[in-house]
């Protein structure tokens, strides 16, 4: 059963990637270069979300058969993932206003948290500071964290391999705290992500908002569920895994607001943009992934030092960002951007 599910998800993912251009044209989500922010070489389908949606559905059905007692969580995971996929597709196709995107995403997360109490953040384990009960703030805090993470992941999706690479690392790290019965889901979904990653790096497809929203919803809800387990994912470690993209998102919002622009306006001031100008992308991507996922791996290996690592990460992020911004490479050496910039 497990082997068959793995084969099916692999075949579905490869087929969607191979026919990404056809999918993109049928759904009218082809990202075309504009000579300004979008300077990739050729029109590219935003089909990464579709390539991940099929395997997600298959894997959730597999988990239903293995762990029927987890049906509410699995149903919420599928509903939120596919709901965010549709939201992202509408945004890819017609470009929604940020307020509408955030409002719809917030209502979706509020809905799944309302029907599945295990997906609510009801308390914060601050360890040395004790346990903070959220009470009536549980639902707003859950929605705020989920929507913030969704926006941070979407804003990070500006160069090939960034979001997919982080997602592979995140799922691997979260899998270390998952119940054994859920490990097939993590394993097979990581394999699917690796397949889409390879096609993305080859410039065959982009994730698009549909793909980044789907991944953010799935990973965000899994993180909350694992945090609520006993014993579960420590809060400090959860923050370590997601800190760098969230820091970059918050920095951009502040900088745009100070410049009198919308916090959600597009620009080329993201960390991945600066690294891409400083280094060839084949080198910049590993640097970005090491900075984004390295703290999570360190925290997992040395859980007793998670608090200390948490203090150091913002400083390291600032140093790397300053270094990347300081000396841009000559124009003739710049590597073309391969993914739609946000």
Instruction: Measure the CA–CA gap between 205 and 19, rounded to whole angstroms.
Output: 10
- At 264-276, the pLDDT tens digits run 888 889 999 999 9
Q: By percentage, how much of the chain surpasses pLDDT 70?
A: 93
pLDDT digits (tens, 9 = 90+) for 123-149: 998 776 778 899 999 999 999 999 999
* Rounded distance between C-alpha atoms, residue 131 and residue 235, angstroms: 11
Per-residue pLDDT at 286 exceeds 90: yes
Portion of the chain with pLDDT greater than 90, in percent = 81
Encode 82-134 in three state secondary structure.
HHHHHHHHHHHHHCCCHHHHHHHHHHHHHHHHHHCHHHCCCEEECHHHCEEEC
The CB-side HSE value for 151 (13 A sphere, CA atoms) comes to: 27
Q: Does the pLDDT of residue 37 top 80, yes or no? A: no
Per-residue model confidence (pLDDT) at position 326: 86
- The answer on whether 151 is annotated among ligand-binding residues is no
77-86, 207-216, 230-239: least confidently modelled range: 230-239
Q: Which residues contact 145 (CB under 8 A, 6 or more apart)?
A: 121, 220, 224
The mean pLDDT of 6-12, rounded to a whole number, is 92
Average pLDDT, the chain: 91
Cα pseudo-dihedral 274, 276, 280, 281, rounded to 10: 150
- What are the tens digits of pLDDT across the range 15-30? 999 999 999 999 999 9
Q: Three-state DSSP class for 20?
A: helix
Q: What is the pLDDT of residue 103?
A: 96
Two structure tokens written together for 288: 């970005």
Q: Which residues pair with 131 in a beta bridge?
A: 125
Query: What pLDDT does residue 340 have?
Result: 46
pLDDT at 93 over 90: yes
| Predicted pLDDT at 130 | 73
Q: Which residue has the higher pLDDT, 35 or 151?
A: 151
* Average pLDDT, integer, range 28-36: 83
DSSP 140: H
How far is it, in rounded angstroms, from Cα 232 to Cα 217? 19
Task: State the Cα torsion 130-133-139-143 to the nearest 10°.
Answer: -10
Q: Is 154 annotated as a binding residue?
A: yes
Q: Within its chain, how far is the Cα of 111 from the centroid?
A: 20
Asked whether 79 and 204 are in contact (CB, 8 A), the reply is no
Of 98, 100, 108, 118, the C-alpha closest to 78 is: 108
Task: Give the predicted TM-score (pTM) of the model.
Answer: 0.93
Domain map (residue ranges) of the chain: 2-235
Q: Which of 290, 297, 71 is nearest to 176 (CA)?
A: 297
């Amino acid at each position: 059963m497990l082997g068959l599910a793995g084969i099916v998800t692999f075949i579905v993912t490869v087929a969607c990637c191979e026919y990404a251009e056809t999918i993109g044209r049928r759904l009218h989500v082809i990202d075309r270069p504009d000579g300004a922010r979008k300077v990739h070489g050729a029109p590219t389908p935003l089909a990464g979300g579709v390539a991940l949606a099929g395997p997600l559905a298959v894997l959730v059905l597999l988990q239903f058969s293995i762990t029927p007692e987890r049906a509410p969580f699995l149903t919420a995971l599928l509903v939120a993932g596919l709901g965010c996929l549709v939201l992202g597709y509408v945004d890819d196709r017609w470009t929604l206003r940020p307020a509408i995107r955030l409002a719809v995403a917030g209502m979706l997360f509020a809905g799944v948290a309302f029907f599945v109490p295990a997906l609510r953040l009801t308390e914060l384990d601050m360890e040395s500071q004790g346990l903070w009960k959220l009470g009536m703030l549980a639902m707003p805090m859950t929605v705020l964290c989920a929507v913030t993470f969704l926006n941070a992941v979407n804003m990070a999706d500006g160069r090939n391999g960034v979001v997919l690479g982080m997602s592979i690392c995140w799922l691997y790290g979260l899998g270390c705290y998952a119940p054994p019965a859920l490990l097939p889901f993590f394993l097979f979904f990581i394999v699917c992500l690796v397949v889409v990653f390879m096609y993305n790096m080859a410039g065959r497809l982009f994730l698009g908002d549909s793909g980044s929203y789907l991944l953010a919803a799935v990973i965000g809800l899994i993180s909350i569920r694992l945090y609520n387990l006993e014993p579960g994912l420590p809060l400090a470690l959860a923050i370590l895994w997601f800190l760098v993209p969230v820091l970059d998102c918050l920095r951009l919002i502040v900088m745009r607001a100070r410049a009198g622009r919308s916090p959600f306006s597009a620009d080329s001031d993201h960390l991945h943009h600066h690294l891409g100008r400083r280094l060839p992308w084949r080198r910049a991507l590993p640097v970005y992934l090491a900075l984004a996922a390295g703290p999570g791996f360190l925290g997992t290996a040395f859980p007793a030092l998670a608090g200390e690592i948490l203090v150091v990460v913002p400083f390291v992020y600032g140093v790397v960002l300053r270094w990347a911004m300081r000396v841009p490479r000559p124009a003739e050496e710049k590597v073309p951007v391969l993914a739609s910039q946000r």
